[in-house]
Copies of this chain bind each other. A is one copy, B any other.
Amino acid sequence: MELTSYSKADLTAFYDACKADYADYQAQGLKLDMSRGKPSPKQLALSAGLLDCIRSDELVGEAGDYRNYGLLDGIPEAKRLFAPMLGVEPDEMFMFGNASLQAMYFCISNAYSHGVLGGTPWSRLEKVKFLCPVPGYDRHFKITQYFGAEMINIPTNEDGPDMDLVEQYVQDPAVKGIWCVPQYSNPSGIVYSDEVVKRFAALKPAAKDFRIFWDNAYCIHHLVDSPKTILPILAEAKKCGNEDIVYEFASTAKVTFAGAGVSMLAASKANLADLKKGLTVFTISFDKINQMRHVKFFDGKFENVLAHMEKQRAELAPKFACVLDTLAKELRPLGIGAWTEPKGGYFVSFNAPKGTAKRIVQLCKEAGVVLTGAGAAFPYGVDPDDSNIRIAPSYPEVPELQKAMDLFVLCAKMAAAEKLLEA
């Protein structure tokens, strides 16, 4: 029976029983941080070979001595290795530093200080607006917030952002960009449909310096055998004569080492040349040795990157199963909440009954399990429904995760019951 159908007396009894269980959890002194999508130690161990896969004499590569200065846009060996991951040609990309977030920050920061492809610097405009499909990635929103953009929530459907709304908003010349995680969105895990990608590629915004920030962070992070993949945005945009509309980003943060991988930025040649004007002031070069380390570790073959991701999948899949099974078993019969069942990525997006997300996070915290803050997946950290919680199952091992999920569903039950009892 769904909880909403319970009598007042049954609901009170249900809540009291939950409270007793909760007291037991509190007594256990759990201590678990599930606030970020961090790889587990076992996942990180898969890349141990990176630490000694390269010899000094292998660092004189195709384009020179990679131990020395130079090659701002990266070594050709690494570009060839990772171009297929982004669905671009090697000359349509830069290798970047240890984090794609820095590349995104640079693009936004440079747009504010110097403008995009000859446009007015955004800092000189009265108003800059950014479209933010929600729920989304908090660190994206923090960049645009830091620079003072007005962020507009765009609802996300099962096949991507609400494109009618996107197409309507881009008529406003103050709208300068949109944040997208097209494959396994953070946190909803959805995959953009071909139609959505094509509509993005064909977008005709009023602002010529509007850019799609296409963060393809999880493009090869599958959890199933025959994953649905997305159309390559840059190629699609080219077909529409619209190739300048997108910056694409990716990294090996969740392929090899989080924070010590390599990252990439793909864009049209005009965009790359424009960005290079600033990048050449920003740095002499990124870490080419780490680029070559990745080339050696994967023997220069993208199929080896994909094989490596199968090992990652073997670690992650049981954890997602644990989360989804527990939610299905404990909450579905009671009709509490709704959640995504992602086929890849790093998160499960849980939508609690309206007005209960903060309470669930608080209850979990008080029993020793730290979740991502409720609202974090929304611009300004404000979820208008106080409903969304990002569950990040990657870090703990299954037994610990099971404990955390048991607590989570208990807290979800309590919060739901409290809400109903209030009413």
Which A residues contact B (CB, under 8 angstroms)?
36, 38-39, 41, 44-45, 47-48, 51-52, 54-56, 65-70, 97-99, 101-102, 105, 109, 112-114, 123, 139, 142-143, 146-147, 253, 257-260, 278, 281-290
Shortest CB-to-CB span from A210 to chain B, Å, is 20
Shortest CB-to-CB span from A404 to chain B, Å, is 18
CA of A258 to CA of B69, assembled, Å: 5
Residues of B with C-beta under 8 A to A283 = 99, 101-102, 105
Residues of B with C-beta under 8 A to A99 = 283-285
Residues of B with C-beta under 8 A to A47 = 67
The answer to whether A290 and B260 touch (CB under 8 A), given A113-B147, A281-B105, A281-B146, is: yes
Given contacts A51-B56, A97-B98, 10 further A-B contacts (CB under 8 A): A67-B259, A68-B258, A70-B259, A97-B97, A98-B98, A102-B283, A105-B283, A139-B281, A259-B285, A260-B289
The answer to whether B54 and A259 have CB atoms under 8 Å apart is no
The answer to whether A67 and B257 have CB atoms under 8 Å apart is yes
CA of A232 to CA of B99, assembled, Å: 33
CA of A289 to CA of B285, assembled, Å: 18
Pairs A–B under 8 Å by Cβ, sample size 9: A38-B69, A67-B258, A67-B259, A67-B260, A99-B283, A101-B282, A114-B146, A146-B278, A260-B288
Residues of B with C-beta under 8 A to A146 = 114, 278, 281
Shortest CB-to-CB span from A213 to chain B, Å, is 14
The answer to whether B65 and A41 have CB atoms under 8 Å apart is yes
Complex copy number for this chain = 2
Shortest CB-to-CB span from A22 to chain B, Å, is 30
CA of A158 to CA of B44, assembled, Å: 52
The answer to whether A68 and B102 touch (CB under 8 A), given A48-B56, A123-B123, is: no
Residues of B with C-beta under 8 A to A259 = 67-70, 284-289
CA of A109 to CA of B108, assembled, Å: 12
Residues of B with C-beta under 8 A to A285 = 99, 259
Q: Which 6 A-B pairs have the closest CB atoms?
A: A48-B56, A260-B289, A52-B52, A44-B67, A98-B287, A146-B281
Shortest CB-to-CB span from A186 to chain B, Å, is 13
The answer to whether B48 and A51 have CB atoms under 8 Å apart is no
The answer to whether B101 and A284 have CB atoms under 8 Å apart is yes
Interface centre among A44, A114, A253 (most CB of B within 10 A): A44
Shortest CB-to-CB span from A274 to chain B, Å, is 13
CA of A38 to CA of B257, assembled, Å: 29
Shortest CB-to-CB span from A109 to chain B, Å, is 6
CA of A161 to CA of B70, assembled, Å: 30
CA of A112 to CA of B278, assembled, Å: 15
CA of A260 to CA of B54, assembled, Å: 14
Residues of B with C-beta under 8 A to A142 = 281
Residues of B with C-beta under 8 A to A123 = 113, 123
Residues of B with C-beta under 8 A to A66 = 260
Residues of B with C-beta under 8 A to A139 = 281, 284
